[in-house]
Each structure stands twice: as structure tokens, then as C-alpha cells.
Amino acid sequence: MGGSGGSEFQLPPEIGGPSAWYGPDMARRRDWVATLSPEEIAEVEAAIRKTLARGTDVAAIRRDGFPLPRLAPRLAGILGDVLDGRGFAVIRGLPVERWTVEEAAVAFFGIGSHLGSARSQNGKGHLLGHVKDLGLSSTDPAVRIYQTRERQTYHTDSCDVVGLLCLRTAKSGGQSALVSSVTIHNEMRRRRPDLLRLLFQPIATDRRGEVAPGQKPYFDIPVFSWHEGLLTAIYQRQYIESAQRFPDAPRLTPELTEALDLFDALANDPALNFTMDLLPGDLQLVHNHSLLHDRTGFEDWPEPGKRRHLLRLWLAPAAARPLPAVFAERFGTVTPGGRGGILLPGVVPNAPIEAV
């Protein structure tokens, strides 16, 4: 069963397990940090050199051409924790300070190829994203918030797993924040099951101008779906609000707005969430189906060469969970390993080395 909030719909039970965590507990732990050994780093650097010597385009890197015999089994275990455990991990120690942006991009894409297939992150077909302040504002309906220095608010991306590689940090702010959507569900179930029920009904979310022929300019997927015994969330409040600019989008009722407000209040509750500083060389992986992520606003350095810069991948692991059919409206298909991303006809997937 997908997300149906009709009268016959029964709320899922309260959900236990490693994905139902609380932020203060997680902040005290460090089992989610995997520090690379010198031998593993050397293996990555050898693969970088081979890739650059062959002249392989970043977008064409595949796991067979980026051998990591020592690190690959460890990556498989980390991915298991992300998909079936706590929902996130940080791989620490990549020596980005001694790499060019191209070398960092090759390393990131190569490591990513051992985790899943890269998916397009925007209407330009970018398989490699650059998270930088481009001096834009989210008040422009064609702008996505990662292109600004604004706080993002808690949201999911349109893929199974998002990866971030930190190259440079901001002068202040720009922390990564995480919260479990499973825990939000459990808390709403205890406090206001009447409001929780509304979030299992389809809700319009703005595509922000990245619309393929035949698509509506918004998609209709419930915030929560219960499918094959798994709770899956998809959420971006600003884009839910901005979808109301379309006359044919279903309207936000006062009751649904109250439900979204409670969802946001729980996501923003320090009893549920926690923040972390991503250091240069940290590679963070986040499971979009069980977590929401956020980034605090930031003040950047005035010098262009010092400004905050992260690389991003949207990944489709072959071992990803089953998704309800309604997710095809956003993910293109629900087939693991080939789903997610923003696919527009005629756009060739590419991996720009500089932010564009």
C-alpha cells in the first residue's frame, strides 16, 4: 500500500529500530564517522591518477574503472548503515587540501560509483553538483535554495541517497543538520494522529520550473508513505507552499497547514535533531527516505578562493528499498539503481568541474 489517507487507511504502528533516533543521543555518538586509513587514501589517489591519465570524463567514471579493492568492502558496509540503519554516515579524511577541484571531483564521483548510479540534480543534467552561494535568492521561483546562502530548512532531495564532499567551509555558519523522519512520524502519532493521517494524502510540491513535456509543474506525492512495511518521507515545505501559485494545484486546507506546521516544529525541535560541522575532506551520506537534512545560513569569506564549497552527488543504489508507485511521478521510475533525479528530454548528463 502506498500513502493513502482515506477513511479506510490505518496509520502505521510506531516504528522502532536504528532509524528512529533522537538528535541528542546521536550527537554523543561517533559510530557514524568512518575515518579513512592512509592505505585507503593511497588507493583513492591511485585511482584518481589512473582516471586522469586515461582522460576519462568525470561523468563517465564507473566502479570498474575506479578500483578500490581495500575500500570498496568498507563502503558497502557504510552504505548498509545508511540504507537500513541510522540513515547517514560521514567518511572522514579525504585530503582535499592537496587536491585540485578536478581531483576532488574524480575522487568523489569514483567513490560514489561504488555506492550507486549518479542521477541528474537539476534541469541542466548535472550529475555533479556544486553547493555554493551564487548570489541568488529563493524568492525567484526558478532558484533552488542550495544556490544561496540562506538556511535551507529540513527537506529531502529527489533521490535515494545524497552525498556531500566538503572542500571549504564558510567563515561562520553553514552547519549540516539532520533529523529522523521516522521519529517525526512517531511523535506525531503520539501527539496528533488526526494530523498525521493528513500527511499520508498526496500533496502538491513545486518542480521549480524543471518540468518535462507532459508533466504538471508540480508533483503529487504524500509526505509519508507506508509501503511493504517501510515508512518513506518526501518533503520540502517551501516548495509545497510555492506550488500554491498554480491554480490547478490542490489547495492547502487549514487542517493540512496545521499538520505541516507540527511536522516542521518537530523537525526543528533540538530534542529530535542535531547539527554537525562538516570539515574539509568529510564525505557525508544521507538516506532521503528516512531522514531530512538542513543547512544553517552562513556568512562567507570575501575572498573567492576561500568561499564555502561542497560537491554533491545524488545516488541510486541497486540495494535501495522498494518505493510505492506514486514515487515514479518524481523519480521517473521506482526501479532501484535507476531512479531519482531530474530528467528533461534532450539534456545530456554531465559533470561540471566548476559551479555553473
Can you tell me which residue has the cell 540562506? 150
d(CA 177, CA 150): 14
Given a cut of 80, is residue 190 above it in pLDDT? Answer: yes
Of the pLDDT bands very low, low, confident and very high (cuts 50, 70, 90), residue 307 is confident
Q: What is the predicted pLDDT for the residue at 140?
A: 67
Q: Among residues of the chain, what percentage have pLDDT more than 70? A: 91
- pLDDT class for 253, splitting at 50, 70, 90? very high
pLDDT in tens, 60-77: 999 999 999 999 999 999
pLDDT at 2 over 60: no
Q: How do residues 334-345 score in pLDDT, each as one tens digit?
A: 999 999 999 899
The answer to whether 35 and 281 have CB atoms below 8 angstroms apart is no
What integer best gives the mean pLDDT of the chain?
92
Residues 81-106 have pLDDT tens digits of: 999 999 999 999 999 999 999 999 99
Which grid cell is 132?
555554493
Domains of the chain: 23-331 (3.60.130.10)
Q: How confident is the model at residue 136 (pLDDT cuts 50, 70, 90)?
A: low
Average pLDDT over residues 9-33: 97
- E strand or H helix at 42: helix 38-54
Q: Which range among 17-26, 140-149, 332-341 shows the weakest confidence by mean pLDDT?
A: 140-149
Q: Which of 8-12, 121-125, 269-273, 340-344 has the highest mean pLDDT?
A: 269-273
pLDDT at 1: 42
Buried b (16+ CB within 10 A) or exposed e, 216-242: ebbbbbbbbbbbeebbbbbbbbbbbeb
More confident position, 220 or 146: 220
User: Which of 256, 309, 242, 300 is CA-nearest to residue 278?
Assistant: 309
Nearest CA to 205 out of 342, 83, 311, 335 is that of 342
